[in-house]
Amino acid sequence: MASNLYTHQDQNIAKTWLLMAMFALVAIGIGWAVSWYFDSPGVLAVAVIFAAAMNVASYWFSDKIVVAAARARPADERQYADLHNIIENLSITAGLPKPRVYIIEDPAPNAFATGRNAKHAVVAVTTGLLQTLDKNELEGVIAHELSHVGNKDMLVSTVVVVLVGVVTIVSDIFLRTSIFGRGNREERGNPILAVIAIAFVVLAPIVATLLQLAISRKREFLADASGALLTRYPEGLANALRKISGYNAPMLHANTATAHLYISNPFGPRAAAGGLAKLFMTHPPIEERIKALLGQ
């Protein structure tokens, strides 16, 4: 089992970097299309600086922003002594400083981790999670969340969000400017390349979003594998995922902007679907995650 988990971990690291490379190619491609069409890199430079500044600021204050959006409160160390002990012990095992611990008053079993680095990390769990899981299952979930911290997933997510922001903003500027006739189609003298440039810019935001979601799903698989290796008991996390998926209602304050941070889709299992809709999911299907954990 450990060998399978290590292999799965390595595969997901490699796939994440492959997706990131594809993402970079999309960003470079849209930069070329805009620069060629307008014969000026100025618009692209402004868009890159704006998108990067906005998203780096969000990354810097990610813990405060996400905690506020989730309506979480600090977990009292006496009232939630068992939770604090589990998080402290697993943090020591993982070689991480103990993160700040938060509670979300919500009957839906769920949890998330956030923070720009290990020193500023936050782990939050719902009251529903504490009521639903036994100790081994809770340890599996906490190990998963600590793995997000150890794997620097917030940094990866921020880089991806910056790239998505750049692609979306540049695409929007390009299309708006083209509509109002400021482009250099005639001056550039190649209508075929102009059509290719326009088609690429139109499709680039869709491709960027799909790559963002694919990276998010791979990071969930990676955190599952890393968490199982941390506890040395993959069945604990697998059983926790079964129980979490058995709760059909969404969280009381589900938020699209933070949905990808949770261990399970906060909008409930009904938000997941097969076919093409699977491409737009923020989380891999629970069944696939359990099979990966158990080596099935």
The per-residue pLDDT for range 137-179, each reduced to its tens digit, is: 999 999 999 999 988 887 777 667 666 777 777 777 677 766 5
Helices (H), the chain: 2-38, 42-60, 62-70, 81-94, 127-132, 135-150, 153-179, 185-188, 191-231, 234-245, 286-294
Q: Which residues of 57-96 are buried (b: 16+ CB within 10 A; e: fewer)?
A: ebbeebbebbbeebebeebeeeebeebbebbeebbeebeb
Statement: residue 124 has pLDDT above 90 = yes
Residue at token pair 């290796």: 229
Report residue 48's pLDDT band, with 50, 70 and 90 as the boundaries.
Answer: low
More confident residue, 190 or 87: 87
Report the alpha-carbon distance of residue 145 to residue 245 in Å, rounded. 17
Task: Write out the binding residues for Zn(2+).
Answer: 144, 148, 220
Task: Write out the binding residues.
Answer: 144, 148, 220
Residues in a beta bridge with 252: none
The per-residue pLDDT for range 255-277, each reduced to its tens digit, is: 877 888 899 989 887 665 555 55
**Mean pLDDT, all residues of the chain:** 81
Task: Tell me the percentage of the chain whose pLDDT exceeds 90.
Answer: 41
Q: Which sign does the torsion angle of CA 104, 106, 109, 112 carry?
A: negative
Report which residue type is found at 52. A
Other beta carbons less than 10 A from residue 191's beta carbon: 10
The per-residue pLDDT for range 214-229, each reduced to its tens digit, is: 878 888 998 999 999 9
Report the alpha-carbon distance of residue 58 to residue 260 in Å, rounded. 15
Delimit the domains of the chain by residue range: 2-294
DSSP output for 147-170: HHHHTTHHHHHHHHHHHHHHHHHH
Angle (CA) 217-218-220 rounded to 5° is 65
Report the alpha-carbon distance of residue 199 to residue 207 in Å, rounded. 12
Report residue 2's pLDDT band, with 50, 70 and 90 as the boundaries.
Answer: very low
Angle (CA) 57-262-256 rounded to 5° is 65
Average pLDDT for 287-293: 94
Report the alpha-carbon distance of residue 285 to residue 92 in Å, rounded. 30
Report residue 8's pLDDT band, with 50, 70 and 90 as the boundaries.
Answer: low
Task: Tell me the percentage of the chain whose pLDDT exceeds 70.
Answer: 72
Most confident listed range (76-85, 115-124, 204-213, 275-284) = 76-85
What amino acid positions are annotated as catalytic residues?
Answer: 145
More confident residue, 180 or 125: 125
Report the alpha-carbon distance of residue 84 to residue 6 in Å, rounded. 28
